Amino acid sequence: MKDELKKKDEQKLDEMQQEIDQAAMTEEAEEEAPEAAENAEAGAEEPAADDAQQQVEKLTAELKEQTDRSLRLQADFENFRRRTSKEKEELAAVVTQGILKDMLPLLDNFERAMAAEAKDGEAFQKGVEMIFTQFGEVLKKNGLEKIETEGQKFDPNFHQAVMRVQNEELEDDDIAQELQKGYMVKGRVIRPSMVQVVAN
């Protein structure tokens, strides 16, 4: 009987010792767990922080590159605009010089006509006619074209109707008479022809 009680006590002691050991292990595990978690978090935070820092640096570099590119493009555009404006001014000056150079012989002929004696009316008239012909050639050389009206229908793109007239011999919208000549330069109207238009 004593032996059985002793065995039971020993078993009880063993069970209690196991419980104590388990409790101690659990406590150690619980104490180690926060440290491990902290270490794990710290370890995770460090690479995450490094990644974030690298990402920020990369994006900052890209932004700087884009800003520099934008500034360069803006500067290039400003230079292009300035250069184009200057080229237009130079081209306009060259065109004006060319036209004026072509007109210098006319100026010379006008001076000769004005210096001629007024007695010879016929010679003076011939001189003026020659100047007129020469003037027409200079204008034509520089792109001036006369807008045709004879036998034409009224076209508001080229003609300006200042009067409507009745004319049995012509159809409606035919041009009856040209009152002032119109001109184009290389296909662009610089002055429309002033005309009478038929309206029967």
Half-sphere exposure of 12 (CA within 13 A, CB side): 6
Element (H, E) at 146: strand 144-146
Q: What is the pLDDT of residues 110-142, one digit of tens each?
A: 887 777 666 667 777 888 888 889 988 888 888
C-alpha 137/C-alpha 141 separation (Å) is: 6
Type of residue at 171: E
| pLDDT at 4 > cutoff 90 | no
Between residues 6 and 20, which one has the greater pLDDT? 20
CB-based contacts of 128: which residues, under 8 Å, 6+ apart? 113
Q: Can you name the CATH fold of 55-142?
A: Hemagglutinin Ectodomain; Chain B (3.90.20)
Q: What is the pLDDT of residue 50?
A: 83
Compute the mean pLDDT over every residue in the chain, rounded to the nearest whole number: 82
* Shared fold status for 55-142 and 148-200: no
- Cβ–Cβ contacts within 10 Å for residue 149, how many? 22
Domain 148-200 has CATH 3.40.50.300: no
Q: What is the pLDDT of residue 73?
A: 92
Weakest-pLDDT range from 38-42, 61-65, 180-184 = 38-42
Six token digits for residue 43: 């370890």
DSSP for 88-99, written as a single string: HHHHHHHHHHHH
Q: What percent of the chain has pLDDT over 70?
A: 80
Q: How much is the average pLDDT of 148-174?
A: 90
Sequence spans of domains, the chain? 55-142, 148-200
